[in-house]
Amino acid sequence: MTGVLSGVAPMAVPPGAYLVVGTLLFAIGLAGALLKRNALSIFLSIELMMNAVNLLFLTYARMRGDMAGQMIVFFVIAIAAAEASIGLAIFVALFRARRTVDVDKIALLKW
């Protein structure tokens, strides 16, 4: 399913640049997810990863002059919002039960 992106000019900035930026942001998000201890911060980093992916989508869409990418991004944003609400709710419940959201302090279930 497609929807052609109505008239756009050839890109001034080489698309590769966008891709690299997106990928780097993805990596940074990953780094945050791996290095943070606070559950919220980790989830925050994951949100960054998602946004990075969005950038990739947009870039590809632009390159192909194709709407689909944008549509996907649209949905991804919505899903991210939903995820966020659930996630934060979980963190709240977690905090109530454990008085902390420091994932390094939360290892009741192990081995």
Partner 1 sequence: MSGFLHVTGADFAAVAPEMVLCLAATLILLLDAFARPLRSYLPYVALASLAIANLAGRDVTGTFFSGAVEVSGFTRYMELVALGAVALAILGGAAALERDKRDQGEFYALLLFAAAGVILMVRGGDLLVVFIGLELMSLCLYVLAAWYRDNPAATEAGMKYFLMGALASAFLLYGVATIYGRLGTTSFAKIQGLASTPGLVAFDTMLAAGILAVVAGLAFKIALVPFHGWAPDVYQGMTTPAVAFLSTAPKAGAVLVLARVLHALFPAGLGDPWRPLLAILAVLSILFGNIVALSQRDLKRMLAYSGIAQMGYVTIALATFTTDALEGAGVFLAGYLVTNAAAFLAVAALSSGENEPKLLSELAGLGRRKPLAAAVLTLSMLSLTGLPPTVGFIGKLLVFRAAVEGGLVPLTIVGVFGSLVSVGYYLRVVYHLWMKEPAREVSLVPDDVLSGAAFLLTAALMLLWGVFPRALIDVARQAAGALLGR
Partner 2 sequence: MPALSGELVVFTIASVLAIGFALAMVVQKTPVRSVLSLVVTFMGLAIFSIQLAAPFIAVLQVFVYAGAILVLFLFVIMLLNLSQEATDEDTRPVQRWLGLVAALGLGGLLSGAALRAPLPQGAAPARTPLGDEIPAIGRLLFSDYLLAFEALSFLLLVAAVGALLLSKKRFE
Partner 3 sequence: MNQLWLIPVLPLAGFLLNGLVALLFASARAEAERDADQPKARLPYAQRLFHGVVGVGSVGLACVLSFAALVPYVLESLKSHEGLAPVVQHVYTWMAAGDYSVDVAFRLDALSALMLSFVTFVGTLIHVYSVGYMQDEEGFGRFFAYLNLFMFAMLTLVLADNLPLLFVGWEGVGLCSYLLIGYYYDKDFAVAAGKKAFIANRVGDLGMVLGIFGIFALFGTADFSFVELAKRAALAPGSHISVYAVCLLLFLGACGKSAQVPLYVWLPDAMAGPTPVSALIHAATMVTAGVYLVARCSAVFVLAPDALTLVAWIGAGTAIFAATIGLAQNDIKKVLAYSTVSQLGYMFLACGVGAFSAGMFHVFTHAFFKACLFLGSGSVIMSMHHEQDMRKMGGLASRIPHTFRTMLVATIAIAGIAPLAGFFSKDMILGSAAASGHWGLFAVGLFTAFLTAFYMFRLVSMTFWSAPRGDHHAHEHAHESPATMTVPLWILAGLSVVAGLVGVPAALGGSDRIGRFLEASVARPEMHEMSHAAEIGLMALSLAVAAAGIGLALSWYRKASGPVEAVSPQADAFFAKTGALGRIVANKWNVDEGIEALVLSPFRKIGTFLWRGFDALFIDGIANASAFLVELAGDLMRFFTTGHVRNYALAFSLGALVFVLYVWVR
Binding region for partner 1 (CB under 8 A) = 1-4, 19, 26, 29, 33, 39, 42-43, 46, 49-50, 53, 56-57, 59-60, 63-64, 66, 68-69, 71-72, 75-76, 79, 82-83, 86-87, 90-91, 93-94, 96-98, 101, 103, 106-110
Q: Which phi and psi (to 5°) does residue 38 adopt?
A: -85, 125
Q: Check residue 106 for interaction with partner 2 (CB under 8 A).
A: no
Question: Restricting to residues 35-54, which ones interact with partner 3 according to CB under 8 A?
Answer: 37, 42
How many CB atoms neighbour CB 73 within 10 A?
19
Q: Give the residue, chosen from 46, 104, 108, 110, that forms a contact with partner 2 under the rule CB under 8 A.
A: 104
Separation in Å, CA 14 to CA 24, 28, 59, 67: 16, 22, 10, 19
Whether the Cβ atoms of residue 52 and residue 82 lie closer than 8 Å to each other: no
Question: Restricting to residues 27-66, which ones interact with partner 2 according to CB under 8 A?
Answer: 27-32, 34-38, 40-41, 44-45, 47-48, 51, 54-55, 58-59, 61-66
Min CB(14)–partner 1 separation in Å: 14
d(CA 100, CA 7): 52
d(CA 58, CA 65): 10
